[in-house]
Structure 1
């Protein structure tokens, strides 16, 4: 009899618990938004004539007053000893200025630079204000007679670019852009053909800042301000030893261009537009 009572009591408790659970409101989960989409791939240009790597120089001249400031983070494969001796191939002051001024920026980085400064590379790659693009691994020229740079052989061009992307990943750059800037801006048909399998868009420029090895910040500033047009791509440098005036130039150029109605964008936005 005692056993029966216990069973009846347990059954009542269980029934009450089940009824309580059934009566408890369940959390309502929002239905998936019809506008939610997966992140889109970075815009690129269609292959050029003969399927060659496409080349982008500037954006639209008629779709708003936009301008892209781009910075080459140069370091060649054999400059490690110079960095170890104290030469600065980075420029934290410049990056801090771009952040303070809230300038969307594209940094064309060599793989060797990412290896030398992995924390800075990772910081740039994870900051939505910046996008990291490819400037080769070694900063060797892809043609002969290119400002005295050593050259990479034709059969190593693709591997050099892919090696840079691998260096970015090791440094913690999560999503390097499919854009490539030839060292020195030097390229020919052979180079464009060699990079076709990589699927990059080659990015040149239409405004040379003249900051490389410059010591007169005012002269560089004038050259940029006089050259910029809607859709311009400005080439500058992110290396203290080779471009010591660039931070000062940026702190002057950015507010003046904004006063003229220009809006700063990344290269990806220019290509996408």
Structure 2
């Protein structure tokens, strides 16, 4: 999701080395074998369908259940950007993922299927790291409505297939358990799109804090906009796209320690929905 917004006008020491995004994460601790009394793993939490069975939309969590905040990162790549990637443009951001790992910040990455195809090693590394969860940002990053920030438009009869194609791309890249959450490209949706996607069973995830990191070069302004907007239960939208959001990693190094100093705890979107 790329949105142009006007930006509102404590760097953290991370250590000498950061793990690359594509490098495998440290394996989780071994779990004991399940016993006869072990609980059956539950499905990821989702919202109940809206009126007339429409796809439900989640924007933020409870304001009254503790100071939690979910950082979300859109890993954007549009279906027709393959030539640009081949010529050297980078739609990934390994240093950002490395920084989140170094700071031990759980996060939700809304990934396009085309991004997973372009960067399968990174997609697999993120998807298998328990610090993160991968959610669906469509396959093509084409808009699900007209007039959406200049994005090409996916036709109504292809919307469901576009979402399902992204999940297929995640599985082929080695992402084992992509979440049943969907973020509309550009954040643009309407009644028709919600009705069309209802059969997929996803919960649409929006946000209540826009970071303003898209096309921004001033990391301080991005950090300030986030810090001024966050409330308990907030969902912050940012980007994991080096060419289109070059200041994000530096902004995160300011945002994370400041919010922790204010008593906030970072969670994944699934935790906000589940609570």
Alignment of 1:28-177 (within 5 A): 33=35, 35-177=37-179
Which digits, 9 at most, give the CA deviation of each residue in 1:67-105, with x for residues without a partner? 000000000001011001000000000000000000011
Provide the rounded CA distance (Å) in 1 between the counterparts of 2:272 and 2:181.
12
- The structure whose RCO (Cα within 8 Å, separation 6+) is larger is 2
Which digits, 9 at most, give the CA deviation of each residue in 1:121-178, with x for residues without a partner? 0001100000000000000000000011010000000000000000000000000000
Structure with a larger share of its residues in helix: 1
1:220 Cα deviation (Å)?
A: 0.6
| Correspondence 1:208 to 2:207 | no
SS for the counterpart of 1:99 is helix
Provide the rounded CA distance (Å) in 1 between the counterparts of 2:35 and 2:171.
33
SS for the counterpart of 1:76 is coil
Provide the rounded CA distance (Å) in 2 between the counterparts of 1:219 and 1:122.
32
TM-score when normalising by structure 1: 0.88
| Correspondence 1:223 to 2:225 | yes
Pick one of 185, 193, 196 that aligns with 1:194: 196
Provide the rounded CA distance (Å) in 1 between the counterparts of 2:136 and 2:207.
15
Residue 254 of structure 2: aligned partner: 252
Provide the rounded CA distance (Å) in 1 between the counterparts of 2:52 and 2:236.
28
1:36 Cα deviation (Å)?
A: 1.1
1:239 Cα deviation (Å)?
A: 0.4
Provide the rounded CA distance (Å) in 1 between the counterparts of 2:232 and 2:219.
23
Which digits, 9 at most, give the CA deviation of each residue in 1:36-95, with x for residues without a partner? 112110000000000000000000000000000000000000101100100000000000
Provide the rounded CA distance (Å) in 1 between the counterparts of 2:42 and 2:34.
18
SS for the counterpart of 1:90 is coil
Larger radius of gyration: 1
Structure 2 alignment gaps of length 5 or more: 1-31
Alpha-carbon spacing, 1:84–1:226, altered in 2? closer, same or farther (3 Å): same
When the two chains are superposed, the root-mean-square deviation of aligned CA atoms in Å is 1.3
Runs of 4+ in structure 1 off by over 4 angstroms are 30-35
Residue 9 of structure 1: aligned partner: none
Pick one of 227, 232, 243 that aligns with 2:245: 243
Residue 11 of structure 2: aligned partner: none
Alpha-carbon spacing, 1:66–1:32, altered in 2? closer, same or farther (3 Å): closer
